[in-house]
């Protein structure tokens, strides 16, 4: 693939576009367009922005992703979580809907795009891995609850003061329930019921569009505005203007943290769903190019009066179901939104806010993934720590601080696992040269006076002291328990299977040196086996290789055989697969016969 095609994926798919894909792409593009019109306006309302801003964020940004993105099905545009993050960042700075607020939203989109581009061009996509899947599930569920509850005021037709925390929002809603507008409540509940019913029995029908049309007709036919039903009002039918938002230094500084969080959350959501459909349709998505694609979309959104965007779960699923085969479907979607802005916005002036609230509530319910939570608990129960912390912290202290706490908590869980790595005492399976965990294979055994231990983690400053204590404890068992079974004067040996150790840092090297010294003092001989290349390099540089001369082996079986039959015919370390640096005969005490047998040895 040429650099042009790599940077502009549209060049690759457009050149070989198959006419057979045109009809399904058109169908999918029109379907997502019909879905995105009401969703875009609803999510703009959630972000504290006028409805037309959601439409602006659904035109040029969608085209930009079609040019630079690598997913064929991903539907980019406004999404609920990013809209909530936008509102939480901007509301303390400006009055919602004001010129300053709108300009700051565009500036935030530019900043999010810039972060995406830096990560993409720097090939730094791995940075998003700091947000684990379990943390994302917990955070998303909490955010969905916050988002859904933020729309309750529109369903009940009440006015509430802005609050900083979820529990305060609940209190504010409860305090104002006596002002509920009955007509608005009926309209909102009917809208939720309609959306759920269409999704259940007619999933291919764009329920949001049906609700928008039905609710507008209801308002017009029954004069519901006279009964206190709030509507979105006039929507400008002008095209989004190109231009830089106000680059105020104070606002810029206040939004840096939010830009990073939106990038992290938005890209995780986007790349997750993009990979699902890439696997389903047997093609690859490039994470770094996806960062560039989403970065271009957000920059375009900032320059054309929008706010931050990313790929959405629900719209992408609908896009795939409707038949999208190439990004041309997204181009069709952008064209439909453009026509809507030019010619159809006057029709939306009677759209009730309760209908938009219903659209948001139904959309975010699916973000509370109970099934995935159960799956996480079943696969790795300790991952529930990060999930729970993310969920509780987000509800308790808010979106931005909540996700920061969740990331820190997940990192602490990782360090806790690293500090006490898995280890196993190994024994030889009768009739083979295979060494396995004796807890899993009770029939496995080792000769008297020999203990084989495997460490399953890199040896670093995080776990060095734990590993040291572990090895010394195992050496004590060799010296006191096994000594009963063999005669005094026979060698007492600790063999460390290093097949699970892929790296050793300076602290780990110093710890190995200390262990070697203490074992020598205790009369226990240390042998190593299955030492990987990077670890061998460190042993050479640190001088430990020379101290262990003749006691480093290709496999655990060869190490034990060397202990049982010392003084056997030496062979080259290279021939035995011990060290690629040595081609000449050395003092390795492993026999040629053992070398051929040891090839079969593997770890469990």
The distance in angstroms from the start CA to the end CA of the chain is 41
- What are the helix (H) ranges across 176-206? 182-201
The whole-angstrom separation of Cα 604 and Cα 599 is 15
Residue 493 parent element (H or E): strand 492-497
pLDDT of residue 429: 93
Look at 406 and 39; give whichever has higher pLDDT: 39
Residue with tokens 């994302």: 136
Task: Map out the domains of the chain with their CATH numbers.
Answer: 3-414 (no CATH), 423-598 (3.30.750.24)
Mean pLDDT of 305-310: 95
pLDDT of residue 567: 61
Q: Count Cβ atoms within 10 A of the Cβ of residue 517 and give its class: 0-12 exposed, 13-18 middle, 19 or more buried.
A: exposed
pLDDT band for position 323 (cuts 50, 70, 90): confident
Which range among 251-255, 321-325, 339-343 shows the weakest confidence by mean pLDDT? 321-325
pLDDT at 79 over 80: yes
| DSSP tag of 348 | G
pLDDT band for position 482 (cuts 50, 70, 90): very low
pLDDT at 431 over 70: yes
pLDDT in tens, 144-203: 898 888 889 999 999 888 777 788 888 989 999 999 999 999 999 999 999 999 989 988
Look at 596 and 448; give whichever has higher pLDDT: 448
The whole-angstrom separation of Cα 445 and Cα 437 is 10
Using the Cα atoms of residue 185, residue 102, residue 80 and residue 8 in order, give the sign of their dihedral.
positive
pLDDT of residue 587: 42
pLDDT at 588 over 60: no
pLDDT of residue 484: 40
pLDDT of residue 594: 40
pLDDT at 308 over 90: yes
Q: Count Cβ atoms within 10 A of the Cβ of residue 323 and give its class: 0-12 exposed, 13-18 middle, 19 or more buried.
A: middle
pLDDT of residue 126: 75
pLDDT at 234 over 90: no
The whole-angstrom separation of Cα 462 and Cα 515 is 17
Burial profile 159-188: b = 16 or more Cβ within 10 angstroms, e = fewer: ebeebeebeebeebbeeeeeeebebbebbb
- What are the helix (H) ranges across 151-248? 152-156, 166-175, 182-201, 207-221
pLDDT band for position 528 (cuts 50, 70, 90): very high
Using the Cα atoms of residue 231, residue 232, residue 234 and residue 237 in order, give the sign of their dihedral.
negative
pLDDT of residue 2: 62
pLDDT of residue 280: 83
Which range among 262-276, 378-392, 517-531, 576-590 shows the weakest confidence by mean pLDDT? 576-590
Mean pLDDT of 312-317: 82
pLDDT of residue 221: 92
The whole-angstrom separation of Cα 297 and Cα 310 is 8
Using the Cα atoms of residue 456, residue 458, residue 459 and residue 465 in order, give the sign of their dihedral.
negative
Give me the percent of the chain exceeding a pLDDT of 90. Answer: 42
Mean pLDDT of 209-230: 90
Contact 36, 61 (CB under 8 A): no
pLDDT band for position 599 (cuts 50, 70, 90): very low
| Global confidence as pTM | 0.73
The pLDDT mean for the chain works out to: 85
* CA-to-CA dists, residue 283 to 39, 76, 548, angstroms: 29, 19, 49
Which range among 129-138, 181-190, 215-224, 353-362 shows the weakest confidence by mean pLDDT? 129-138
What is the token pair recorded at 119?
Answer: 């990560």
pLDDT in tens, 80-101: 889 988 998 998 899 988 999 9
Residue 80 has φ and ψ, to the nearest 5°, of -65, -50
pLDDT in tens, 134-150: 887 888 888 889 888 88
pLDDT band for position 215 (cuts 50, 70, 90): very high
Q: Count Cβ atoms within 10 A of the Cβ of residue 15 and give its class: 0-12 exposed, 13-18 middle, 19 or more buried.
A: exposed
The whole-angstrom separation of Cα 389 and Cα 404 is 10
The closest alpha carbon to 259, from 288, 289, 298, belongs to: 298
Per residue, what are the HEC states of 39-99? HHHHHHHHCCCCHHHHHHCCCHHHHHHHHHCCCCCCCEECCHHHHHHHHHHHCCCCCCCCH
Mean pLDDT of 314-330: 87
Residue 383 Rama label (left phi>0; alpha psi -120 to 50; beta) = alpha
Look at 31 and 48; give whichever has higher pLDDT: 48
Look at 1 and 551; give whichever has higher pLDDT: 551
pLDDT in tens, 451-480: 999 999 999 999 999 999 999 999 888 755
């Amino acid at each position: 693939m040429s650099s042009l095609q790599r940077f502009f994926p549209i060049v690759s798919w457009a050149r070989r576009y198959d006419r057979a894909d045109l009809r399904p792409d058109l169908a999918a593009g029109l379907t997502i367009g019909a879905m995105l019109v009401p969703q875009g306006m609803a999510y703009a309302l959630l972000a504290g922005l006028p409805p037309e801003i959601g439409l602006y964020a659904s035109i040029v940004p969608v085209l930009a992703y079609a040019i630079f993105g690598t997913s064929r099905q991903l539907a980019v545009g406004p999404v609920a979580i990013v809209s909530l993050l936008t509102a939480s960042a901007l509301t303390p700075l400006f009055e919602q809907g004001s010129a300053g607020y709108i300009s700051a939203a565009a500036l935030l989109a530019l900043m999010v795009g810039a972060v995406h581009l830096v990560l993409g061009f720097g090939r730094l996509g791995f940075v998003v891995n700091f947000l684990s899947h379990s943390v994302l599930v917990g955070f998303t569920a909490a955010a969905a609850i916050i988002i859904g509850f933020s729309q309750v005021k529109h369903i009940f037709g009440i006015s509430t003061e802005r609050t900083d925390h979820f529990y305060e929002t609940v209190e504010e809603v409860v305090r104002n329930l006596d002002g509920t507008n009955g007509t608005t409540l009926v309209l909102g509940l009917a809208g939720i019921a309609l959306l759920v019913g269409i999704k259940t029995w007619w999933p291919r029908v764009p329920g949001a569009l049906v609700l928008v049309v039905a609710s507008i007709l209801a308002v017009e036919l029954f004069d519901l505005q006279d009964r206190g039903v709030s509507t979105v009002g006039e929507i400008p039918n002008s095209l989004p203007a190109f231009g830089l938002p106000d680059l105020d230094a104070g606002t810029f500084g206040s939004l840096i943290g939010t830009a990073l969080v939106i990038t992290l959350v938005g890209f995780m959501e986007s790349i997750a769903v993009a990979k699902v459909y890439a696997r389903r349709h047997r093609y690859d998505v490039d994470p770094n190019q996806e960062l560039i694609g989403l970065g271009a979309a957000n920059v375009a959104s900032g320059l054309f009066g929008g706010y931050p965007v990313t790929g959405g779960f629900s719209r992408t699923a609908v896009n795939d179901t409707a038949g999208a085969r190439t990004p041309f479907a997204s181009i069709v979607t952008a064209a439909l939104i453009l026509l809507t802005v030019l010619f159809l916005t006057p029709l939306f002036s009677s759209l009730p806010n309760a209908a938009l609230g219903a659209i948001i509530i139904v959309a975010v319910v699916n973000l509370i993934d109970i099934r995935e939570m159960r799956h996480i608990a079943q696969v790795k129960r300790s991952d529930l720590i990060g999930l729970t912390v993310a969920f509780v912290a987000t509800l308790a202290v808010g979106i931005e601080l909540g996700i920061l706490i969740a990331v820190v908590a997940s990192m602490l869980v990782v360090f806790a696992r690293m500090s006490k790595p898995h280890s196993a005492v190994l024994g030889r399976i009768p009739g083979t040269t295979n060494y396995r965990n004796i807890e899993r294979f009770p029939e496995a055994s080792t000769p008297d006076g020999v203990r084989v231990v495997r460490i399953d983690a890199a040896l670093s400053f995080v776990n060095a002291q734990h590993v040291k204590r572990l090895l010394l404890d195992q050496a004590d068992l060799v010296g006191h328990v096994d000594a009963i079974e063999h005669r005094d004067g026979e060698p007492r040996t600790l063999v460390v299977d290093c097949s699970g150790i892929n790296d050793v840092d300076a602290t780990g090297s110093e710890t190995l040196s200390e262990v070697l010294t203490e074992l020598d003092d205790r009369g226990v001989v240390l042998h190593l086996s299955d030492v990987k290349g990077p670890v061998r390099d460190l042993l050479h540089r640190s001088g430990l290789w020379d101290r262990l001369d003749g006691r480093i082996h290709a496999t655990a079986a060869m190490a034990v055989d060397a202990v049982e039959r010392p003084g056997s015919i030496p062979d080259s370390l290279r021939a035995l697969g011990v060290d690629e640096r040595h081609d000449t005969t050395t003092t390795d005490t492993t026999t040629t016969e053992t070398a051929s047998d040891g090839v079969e040895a593997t770890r469990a």
